[in-house]
Amino acid sequence: MLQLDAVDCHYAKVHVLRGVSLAVGAGEIVSVIGPNAAGKTTTLRVIAGLKDVSGGAVRYEGEDVTRRPAFERVRRGLILVPEGRQIFPRFSVLDNLLMGAYQRPDRHDLDRDLATVYELFPRLHERRGQKGGSLSGGEQQMLAIARGLMGRPRCLLLDEPSLGLAPIVVAEIGRTIKALAARGLTILLVEQNAAMALELADRAYVLESGHVSLQGQASELRQTDVVKRLYLGA
Amino acid sequence: MTQLVLGQVLNGAIIGAMYGIIALGITLTFGITGIVNFALGEFMMIGAYATYALAERFGWPYPVAVVPACLIAAAAGYLANKAFFRFTRNNLVNGLLVSIGLISILESAALLFWTATPLEMHFVLPGALRLGEVGLPKMKLVVFAVILAVIVLTYLGLARTWLGRAAFAYAQNPEAAMLMGVHTPRLETAVMLYSTGLAGLGGALYASLYSLEPAMGGVYVLKGMEAAILGGIGSLMGSLWGGVILGVIEGVGSIFLPTAFRDAYGLAILVAILLFRPAGLFGTE
């Protein structure tokens, strides 16, 4: 469904991605783990179209989208929930959610979609009139995911959804991701929290200084010494 | 005396509404795209001279001339954005530099074409409505009504539509707006076209009431800026009321104080109001 072929990427002269290749099949949860500054977020920004590649290709649903602008990829259901939530602080929760459906041709009839995300995140229903900026970190993360879902993703990209959240909230987000996958949504999850990422994912990639150093079934990766030592703290 | 004061109130309100239309353009452009366009007064000047040319030289009826005049101003705005302004996002200093450059170029061009001699159009709509002792010139009432309608429609257009929601989203976080599927380059262009077209409309209306000079834009953009600050940057209705209040203060003040100082007492009131409401009359932050 989604495929990166030998993607190279630079910020000014810094070579942040060196020939990264990865693939996500329809209905899969795939994780990318790795230390800080390994290029995880850049990988997602390249996929979403926020960052230009300097080499290689991004394929989505069989088509080369490498040169397509970000807003066009969103319209095809390739939706990024960005790092640090990036919700609209002065919009109400409801307006944030509606904005998520901006690109949909049927955006005038969103009652069912709203009901679905409120069912997934009852807290957002309670706070629907409140300004996005007044929510707690965990609630903002829920809002960011819910806003992404309002766009009817076929492939959802999640960038560090656990970042800066209390363990109990992380667990809640994890359950939500599982629930979404159970409905058949394809998910690419980028996480520093390797334990969470490997537990949720079918397959995973380990990204180190801009290249894929390990890949495989999540259950197998969890058993490898390198991952245990470096990422799971065992 | 009543006649004099009321006349000045109306005069001030009309001129103030023109400040308001420039203020609206400034606040829209800055609030949504983060671009500072201090050259908006020049697009007003373009609209004014275009109206004059179409109506007086080509003999078009005034209402017919207004529409293409706005389009010409918007087209000039489009070019200015493509060539300069789009590179000045979120950079106040560069926006100012580009504005100052454009002001001198456009003003010089106008001098070359039209000379410094003030130009006046024929009366578009002569006569006045009489309310007791007070005569209200009909054209001034029309101009005021048009500006009021434009600002209210802009407000409704932004508050009630998906385009408006996208614009506010873009204003809060451009990248997140792009992730929602907003065609952000097009939105930015649209804001630029709208604000310069609006300034052109202000100029077209101005041409029906007052005489034209190449330097007219400079005064109006300063007053427009004052009006935007007075109303509260980012508040659409605030820009209108900021302009009207400023205009009325200047109009009524000039009855009692020397006219030469009208710019000064407008500013004095602005400072006084900002002392108590630093965010402006309608501002929130």
A76 close contact with B: CB closer than 8 A: no
The fold adopted by the segment(s) B2-276 is ABC transporter involved in vitamin B12 uptake, BtuC (1.10.3470)
ipTM of this complex prediction, to 2 decimal places: 0.91
Are A132 and A143 a contacting pair, CB within 8 Å?
A: yes
Please report the pLDDT score of residue A104 as a whole number: 93
Q: What residues does each domain of chain B span?
A: 2-276
A155 close contact with B: CB closer than 8 A: no
From A75's Cα to the closest Cα of chain B, the distance in A is: 6
Residue A63: what are its φ and ψ, rounded to 5°? -120, 145
A46 close contact with B: CB closer than 8 A: no
Are B231 and B239 a contacting pair, CB within 8 Å?
A: yes
What's the DSSP call for residue A92? B
Please report the pLDDT score of residue B285 as a whole number: 57
Q: Which residues contact B224 (CB under 8 A, 6 or more apart)?
A: B19, B20, B21, B22, B23, B25, B26, B40, B41, B243
**Predicted confidence pLDDT, tens digits, chain B (285 residues):** 777 888 888 888 888 999 999 999 998 899 889 899 999 999 999 999 999 999 999 999 999 999 999 999 999 999 999 999 999 988 889 999 999 999 999 999 999 999 989 999 888 888 888 877 777 888 888 998 998 899 889 989 988 899 999 999 998 899 999 999 999 999 999 999 999 999 999 999 999 999 999 999 988 899 999 999 998 887 788 888 899 999 999 888 888 888 888 888 888 888 888 898 888 888 775
Question: What residues of chain A lie within 8 A of the CB of B234, using their CB?
Answer: none
**Could you give the residue ranges of the DSSP H alpha helices within B87-181?**
92-114, 138-160, 162-172, 174-179
Q: Locate the chain A residue with the closest alpha carbon to B170.
A: A88
Q: What residue ranges define each of the domains in chain A, with the CATH number in brackets?
A: 2-77+153-230 (3.40.50.300), 89-151 (no CATH)
- The burial class, CB within 10 Å (0-12 / 13-18 / 19+), for B126 is exposed
Please report the pLDDT score of residue A66 as a whole number: 94
**Predicted confidence pLDDT, tens digits, chain A (234 residues):** 999 999 999 998 889 999 999 999 999 999 999 888 889 999 999 999 999 999 999 999 999 999 999 999 999 999 999 988 999 999 999 999 999 999 999 998 899 999 999 999 999 999 999 999 999 999 999 999 999 999 999 999 999 999 889 999 999 999 999 999 999 999 999 998 888 999 999 999 999 999 999 999 998 888 887 777 777 765
Contact at CB, B172 and A71, closer than 8 angstroms: no
CA distance B279 to B268: 16
**What is the bridge-based pairing of β-strands A2-11 and A14-24?**
antiparallel
Select the residue from B178, B180, B184 to test the A interface by mutation, using most A Cβ atoms within 10 A: B180
Q: Locate the chain B residue with the closest alpha carbon to A84.
A: B176
From A225's Cα to the closest Cα of chain B, the distance in A is: 38
Please report the pLDDT score of residue B49 as a whole number: 97
Half-sphere exposure of B133 (CA within 13 A, CB side): 7
Please report the pLDDT score of residue B236 as a whole number: 80
3-state secondary structure A193-208: CHHHHHHHCCEEEEEE
Query: Measured between alpha carbons, how far is residue A70 from residues A75, A78, B167, B184, B228 in Å?
Result: 9, 9, 17, 10, 34
Residue B282, amino acid? F
From A224's Cα to the closest Cα of chain B, the distance in A is: 36
Contact at CB, A102 and B182, closer than 8 angstroms: yes
